[in-house]
Amino acid sequence: MDVFTLIAFVSTCFLIFLKASTAIDSISPSEPLPDGKTLISNDRSFELGFFSPGSSGNRYLGIWYKNIPVCTVVWVANRVNPINDSSGMLIVTATGDLQLLSQNITVVWSANSTKAAQNPILRLLNSGNLVLIDGRNGNSEASLWQSFDYPSDTLLPEMKLGWNLRTGLNRRLSAWKNSDDPSPGDFTCEIELQGNPEWVLRKGSKKYFRYGPWNGISFSGVPILSPENQIFSYEFVSNEEEVYYMFSLKNKSLLSRIVLNQTDYAIQRYTWSEETRTWKLWLYLPDEYCDKYGLCSAYGNCDSTQLPACQCFKGFKPKSPDGWSSGDWSQGCVRNKPLNCQAADGFIQFGRLKLPDATHSWVNKIMSLEECRDKCLQNCSCMAYTSEDIRGRGSGCAIWFGDLVDIRQFQSGGQDLFIRMSASELGSKRNETKLKLALLIAIPLAALLAMLILFYYFCQSRGSSEERIEEKKENDIKNEGQDEDMELPVFQVATISHATDNFSLSNKLGQGGFGPVYKGKLVDGQEIAVKRLSLSSTQGVNEFKNEVKLIAKLQHRNLVRLLGCCIEGEEKMLIYEYMPNRSLDSFIFDQIRGKELDWSKRFGIICGIARGLLYLHQDSRLRVIHRDLKASNVLLDDEMNSKISDFGMAKTFAGDQTEGSTNKYAIDGLFSIKSDVFSFGVLLLEIISGIRNRGFFHPKHSLNLIGHAWKLWKEGNPLELAAESLGECFTLSEVVRCIHISLLCLQQNPEDRPPM
């Protein structure tokens, strides 16, 4: 049975039901939508009602096209909770919540409005968007809830695929399991947030296909998506508020949709043909062998016009020649000549490419291409760069760190990429044709130059030579003294590179504000964590040394122990003890891992953080203000003991110096222990609730986490803040006391906040 026959079969099931139904144009609290009645848009383009897909007897609430014979569902409400009879009823509550009921009792699906409404009305717009509005003003644009924010497997015109960064809402697609079951399958599509956001398809947890980063005109990996097509236009928006893709139809009378197909593991665009009365397939991705994610692995370039398809870039060779020749490209390519960051590395330009996976990338929208090149050269882990926006003469900067993967070659379209090469590789290529001419000129010149040099040194006094030698000795002694001033071991770059397997991505633990952190193992077997300052860090060598000296003096069981540092060329690294359980945020904000932290463990973590801050503020030789206390900067050892880390923003003042006497504190309060106290209060709420403060807005009253906690405390319901993962086994007095302390720490006036 082909796909169109299957669609026709499904549509027959719908039409039998639809002919017997009656339609309305809105739903209010006084008029529910029972099974057998439908809600239609004003121009009768779309219809909402109950349906049974294919041969299934289950009932679902969904939206489909109204006036075409092939009944095509574009949205389903109760995807994971079907109704097994015809008792379904959709109601709008007086406060503006949607509820889908079975047997008039059981709630199988619900949706909460963003705020209370005095006269809530549910309408189906001509776009296919189901919206809940406040009927007081009748403004359908000011929706309290909309189905476009919670797509199923279909993207319609004017629907956003991507993120609302203010609320944390992620609009993503997930395919139906099959034609009889609209529940989410394992094939998903979403915009991934990273240095350079891009559109990614996943099969389970693994990447399956990338569109490539946005270049101002299109996605570099899909040049077929020309903005000059006659059907649709599209835009990609990435700013501090939102990151999303959206398309619009150029001819409003046309019908077009994007759908995710679990059976074929493909994303497809269909347009409706009035002539044939069928859906025509306009685009199918991935559609080529080279579209498979990471087929040629690191530094491999997939070219569908070549045999074999995988080719190593110029300057690279197969890591496993035997495997490569037999069609096993999993180990990718390696350089012919290794990079030497201290020497003059350069770049080779490659054209018409799908840009590499942008997971480990960085973007600056105002840099020129020349500035971008210089920026890349300043960091030894930067492997490639290009223009962020190719419109006009090009603008902006996009750079990549670590191995370059998932690149393919196009015959037309694509984008230029500048890949880093060693100076010796560049030199051998560039000078090969000029070698003979250079020798003919160089030999006589060298002889003449040698005679001049001998004559020059003969004329120099021995005293001057001795002075230069003595000056060099003094400089050597001075440099040696700098290392001694560090007060802890100084490692070589080669040692750390070997310990981290050349800063392999597989050893990367995370990315902080000042650079990446890698796991490593020294030759004696000791495990370490290496914080490598990024090229964007504004911290200079002197500031870095001051930070190292500061941390070296801090010794406490609730502070991460610094083992050493590395300062060599542009490289600045800190070597810490390795924490096997990573950071606190990986537990408390994860619904699964959060269950590993019962209340007793969370309370122990809270006490450990408090002890660490007390030491910094009061008991250390220098009073220290951390200034960046948050869940990601609290690490956990193998026994779940908490240790404060990352002192890149820390400030100090003498033990007998009061915070109020400093100019810094007088200006803006940044140099105050009370700023750490405030951060501790926020962290307490996050540990107790399992909710991230940043980006949280309560759907009922739009308060953030702090405002929500204050509201519950004033209402006498503080325990509503406790995370479900705490279970029922916790000490009531301890939880309430911690909430009370957190609110004291969060008072607006710093003088009202208690000391640690």
Q: Which residues are catalytic?
A: 628
Q: What is the DSSP letter of 218?
A: S
Secondary structure class of 168 (helix, strand, coil): coil
**Contact criterion met (CB below 8 Å) for 331 and 364:** no
- For the chain, how many helices (H) and strands (E)? 14, 43
Give the residue carrying structure tokens 């026959």: 5
Residue 663 to residue 647: CA distance in whole angstroms:
21
User: Measuring CA to CA, which residue among 396, 403, 386 is closest to residue 348?
Assistant: 386
**3-state percent helix, strand, coil for the chain, nearest multiple of 5:** 30, 30, 40
**Contact criterion met (CB below 8 Å) for 406 and 213:** no
User: Measuring CA to CA, which residue among 683, 561, 679 is closest to residue 628?
Assistant: 679
Cβ burial of 707 (10 Å; 0-12, 13-18, 19+) is middle
| Strand ranges across the sheet with 22-24 | 22-24, 37-40, 46-51, 60-65, 73-76
Residue 575 to residue 565: CA distance in whole angstroms:
5
Report the phi/psi class of residue 76: left, alpha or beta, with left for phi > 0 and alpha for psi in -120 to 50. beta
Residue 62 to residue 46: CA distance in whole angstroms:
10
Reported residue count of the chain is 756
Residue 315 to residue 626: CA distance in whole angstroms:
46
Cβ burial of 731 (10 Å; 0-12, 13-18, 19+) is exposed
**How far is residue 685 from each of residues 673, 715, 722, measured CA to CA in Å?**
19, 17, 9
